[in-house]
Amino acid sequence: MLLNAGSLHNELVRLSWDAGIPVFGSSANTSLMGSKYRADDIESAVLDAADLVIDYGLSKYHNPHGRSSTIIDFSDFSVIRIGVCFDQLKEAFHTRFGVRLQVKQ
Q: What is the pLDDT of residues 5-43, one digit of tens each?
A: 788 888 988 999 999 998 877 677 777 777 888 889 888
State which amino acid sits at residue 1: M
Three-class SS state of 60: coil
pLDDT at residue number 2: 62
State which amino acid sits at residue 79: V
pLDDT at residue number 37: 85
- Residue 36 burial (C-beta neighbours within 10 Å; 0-12, 13-18, 19+): buried
d(CA 75, CA 93): 14
What's the mean per-residue pLDDT of the chain? 86
